[in-house]
Amino acid sequence: MTISPLVEQTATGPEIIFPEGDFWSDEPPLETYLHLQQLILLMSSLEWFWREREDFFAAGNLTIYYSSQQKKSEHFRGPDFFVVLGTEKRLDRKSWVVWQEGGRYPDVIVEILSDSTAKTDRGEKKQIYQDIFRAPNYFWFEPFTLEFQGFRLVGGKYQPIEPNEQGWLWSSRLELYLGIYEQKLRYFTSSGELVPMAEEVLRQAEQKVQEAEEKVEAERREKELVQRQVEQLKAQLRALGVEPE
């Protein structure tokens, strides 16, 4: 990656050099199809729920660059899923470069645990998200064991989020619950309604149309049956010499 420096003079004198240019995401692929499904679910359902909003950016498996020196071994991280509030909903970002985004870090981070990443996600990454990113909400979820935990930043330190009666955890930044539903991590509104994906909304609409069509067809058949019964009764009356009105 070729980088041309951007030099700024601070009030105290020393120069801060920020690299310019394109910063492509440098994340490994997700480990299993279940991890991919979970990531798509988190992204697509939030995008649908906030479809009228243009003041957020949600991404998955995208590198966050936060060091002007670009020390890849210690100054970039790629959360499995993160949300930044109060920013442009631009889809052309190749990564999230903190110093090119007004110094903004994620408001919410979700890591999808795996055998190879769980130790780092629970330890080193949690420390970075607490001390450097200062992300207000951090969650992790293991799609095989269903381990689920969340933290909120209180006085600069992560404190566990207490679950409600359903075992859901409240995200103060998303103003939504996160909880396990049908072995997937899902969003729920403050009133307890499941936040659907657009595909689920479409399927529900198609099902309602199908049910309505089946109801109309059933009513048509019932009407035809009644009409046949009326005609049979008239025929029986005529056979008895009674002319039905």
pTM of the model: 0.73
Exposed/middle/buried for 114, CB within 10 Å: 0-12, 13-18, 19+? Answer: middle
Q: What angle do CA 205, 210, 215 make, to 5 degrees?
A: 125
- Are 81 and 136 in a shared domain? yes
Measured CA to CA, the distance from residue 82 to residue 107 in angstroms comes to 7
User: 159 and 78, same structural domain?
Assistant: yes
Let me know whether 245 and 154 are in one domain: no
Chain segment 176-192, per-residue pLDDT in tens: 999 999 999 999 999 99
Same domain, 94 and 57: yes
- Backbone phi, then psi, for 167, in 5-degree steps? 85, 10
- Domain with residue 186: its CATH number is 3.90.1570.10
- Predicted confidence (pLDDT) per residue in 111-147, tens digit: 999 988 899 999 999 999 999 999 999 999 999 999 9
Q: How many domains does the chain have?
A: 2
**Which residue segment(s) compose the domain that 147 sits in?**
5-195
- Asked whether residue 174 falls in the same domain as residue 204, the answer is no
Same-domain status, 130 and 217: no
Residues 179, 204, single domain; the answer is: no
pLDDT the model gives residue 242: 72
DSSP for residue 98: G
pLDDT-derived band at 155 (thresholds 50, 70, 90) equals: very high
pLDDT in tens, 157-167: 999 999 999 99
User: Which whole-number Å values give the CA distances from 152 to 58, 86, 138, 139, 166, in the listed order?
Assistant: 19, 19, 7, 9, 19
Claim to verify: residue 28 and residue 73 sit in the same structural domain: yes
